[in-house]
Homo-oligomer: A and B are copies of this chain.
Amino acid sequence: MKKKEILKKSLLFNGLTNEQLNALCSISISKKYQRGQTIFHDGEPGNGFYMVASGKVKIFKLSIDGKEQILHIFGVGEPFGEVPVFHGTPFPASASTLAASELFFFPRLEFVDLLTANPSLALSMLAVLSMRLRRFTTQVENLTLKEVPGRLASYLLYLIEEQSREDVVVLDVPKGQLASLLGTTPETLSRIFAKMTDEGLIKVAGKTIHLLDLVGLRER
């Protein structure tokens, strides 16, 4: 697909005029990554942000002893790594690809110029960051106020929305990565899948999960 098409479809850029899109196309640089490659490290200075053109990217933090907490998983059309662009500080977390991916890179200075000239672009960007804040809010809520089965239930119900399915969802990440996103370990996650299956809430077949009792899940 053409670069312009992808940009146009993204939430961030969808209200822009043809010219504005052309400008964005001309300042952005396409980069290709293999699965598992690092895009940037926590603490590095950032001189621009990225958007996923194809593939999938995870944003994560590592503890001293190597434990990983995934903060976000971004798919096609989603921008990431914007914090240093607007705040001037280093990346607050690391990013790497979960699959072979193509990314568009938007250099800071050029993008800020565009923003200054296009208030509507600035408003879209504010909307994107606001949504990001909202998601973090629920993530903190989940991590501290719910226990793991509750977090899993939330995530499954969220996937149902995302995939606009009735009662079946397909995990788009390995279960180990899902564990990290939910702030737990693969072992615990596996046990909770088993328990929920026992309780008749779900039925697991590899990455495909049948939600048998939506009401029961919502109660978590």
Interface residues of A (CB under 8 A from B): 61-63, 67, 69, 71, 82-89, 92-93, 112, 115-117, 119-120, 122-123, 125-127, 129-134, 136-141, 143-146, 183
Taking a contact as CB atoms under 8 Å apart, the answer to whether B140 and A143 are in contact is yes
Given contacts A61-B141, A136-B140, contact A126 B123 (CB under 8 A): no
- Cα A87 to Cα B130 with chains together (Å): 6
Subset of 6 A-B contacts with CB under 8 Å: A85-B130, A92-B138, A93-B137, A93-B141, A117-B119, A133-B136
Majority secondary structure of chain A interface residues (helix, strand, loop or mixed)? helix
Give the residues in chain B near A146, CB-CB below 8 Å.
Answer: 63
Taking a contact as CB atoms under 8 Å apart, the answer to whether A122 and B115 are in contact is yes
- Cα A119 to Cα B122 with chains together (Å): 8
Taking a contact as CB atoms under 8 Å apart, the answer to whether B115 and A119 are in contact is yes
Given contacts A115-B123, A127-B87, A129-B130, contact A140 B137 (CB under 8 A): no
